[in-house]
Structure 1
């Protein structure tokens, strides 16, 4: 490594991303599944947005929230994967200091926004199942827009301190990031200063967002389960359970990699670096790929519109 990467500097003009440390020889092969998953995520989420926009019968709160989820998935995967693929394919490891902080902001902000969207979707299912007569009056288009704006503002306000604090720290050790993208903790750990403020604040955001949102989701679905058990018609029970199961599958696809990545990174320091980076990449890759598949396959209305669209194009 050149001396420019280890000499003293206060504000580096660029950072060097290593990709997946320890698996440099496999970068070319890793680019294949990464690229395939990125294409699937793009096609799946764009198709979902197109179907909902084109079909007036899908202009309902549930599908509006689903569009918000697809849009955030597109932003999340696009903010990370093009640079990761350029590292794997072309060994293009340099990223500007400001670009790195921008990527960091979008990554963590969209993660918080997605968590908020899942809370909104759980709220929508709760009102639709437990208070069906109030649903159309409670979750109007205006209210859905307000919820979406509130979720976005929460993400921006909670994550904005990440790059602002990271910009303040002096970086006098190295500008080499042992990761494939600019994750907050991976960047601030390079600072030659007391970064406890950044570390404690990121831990607070993780615990606050995850615990609060999961608590709201758990309460909503516990109420939904109570309503399900009170239904006497098997057909209605199965229809309601089928709708909720899509949300539950999407929740698992989002929260399990996120929580697993955070726990392993903070508690298990003897885990090899390439395993930590792979888990972190799974957290970014898997949800945008699975969400459109889950909702496309398990939501009858979307599945029917997609089949109708494909049939129309063939004829």
Structure 2
């Protein structure tokens, strides 16, 4: 039994005449009669009464037609669902990210993706850069957004593209002596209690404070930029973080550039090179639209993967 047999039976029930039903289906009447007869033999019941007034479903036919309608509707939904999944309009995407990415560019990316792909289930998890990279390598995430590229076994199987550059800034309470200054230098910083993320203090800030490593050893550890800013507002010390931290809207803190200018590792987005998920492809398309200069880099990386 094929889907066309169900359509033939439904057309015949609607038009109550072999000729009219055949015309609606775009076939000749004899093949339709032959197919309906074959269908009845397969079902093992007479589905239609042929009378001088027309062709009408029997009780068995009515029961069969009800199921036929449901079956064809399900088949149509299956085709629609398959097409939507192939276009990345349904499915799941698991994203791990560091907190500063929520200042920029994730709000624009995630907001646009939500609007254009409302039926994709997003699983979002804030993780520090090493943890998100590890989760991506373990297959627990589909996308990781962190500072610097992932490291460790399997990192060569990832595609990583920069999505934002930053330099180091300091944040202090408006009551702090540094408030109002456009910049402060490292020699001044080492005299102050510091606040930084554990990831930063243990990795990319270390070279900056090499002459005075004890400054970082005693730093207050914060998970994200909002905690850094909040502790600075409480006069707990001088917070250190990326320049995008200036996007935090608070009237009780002050930002200073750090001199000499210290560039932080780029904000990077990583995903598995073997991931051919349409949902991931749809997400990357949104990233291209929202993040300047990412499109060309990403296309080059993807071209290398396929070559």
TM-score by length of 1: 0.23
Q: Hey, which of these two has a bigger chunk of helix by percent?
A: 1
| Larger Cα-atom Rg | 2
Greater relative contact order (Cα 8 A, min sep 6): structure 1 or 2? 1
Larger relative strand fraction: 2
